[in-house]
Amino acid sequence: MSRLAILAFAVLAGSALAQDAAPPKLEPLPEPPPPPPIDAAGEPSVRIPVQEGDKIEEIRNGDEVIMLKVTPKEGPTYYLVQTAGGGWTRRGSLDDGVRVPMWVIQTFE
């Protein structure tokens, strides 16, 4: 029984000593690099090329493109529709009609 008491005392004393040790000294992080430049129009500089033979029609609401109708050389026609969050989702004959609910919670301007 005394061996168990000595072992318990040693464990408790060791944990108490470990808590009294000074925390390690933290160093500040280096400054992050600047963001890449954006062209004057504010448009992204990456463009996805259109396959040769594909036909793309833009559906606009004033100056804003809200939907693209894509008719590929081979395959069914599909639509790229702008979502409320600003992204694009594909809709066409291959869809099963199930949509994930998406709501705009906060916008920053």
Nearest alpha carbon to residue 106 among 88, 86, 79: 86
- pTM above threshold 0.85: no
- Of the candidates 86, 97, 50, 45, the one whose C-alpha atom is nearest the C-alpha of residue 69 is 50
- Domain ranges for the chain, please list them: 55-92
Which amino acid, one-letter code, is at 87? G
pLDDT of the residue at 71: 87
Task: End-to-end CA distance of the chain: give it in Å, rounded.
Answer: 71
pLDDT in tens, 50-78: 678 888 888 888 888 888 888 888 888 88
Q: How confident is the model over 27-55, as pLDDT tens digits?
A: 898 998 887 776 656 655 555 566 788 88
Q: What share of the chain has pLDDT > 90, as a percent?
A: 1
At 55, list the tokens.
Answer: 């036909």
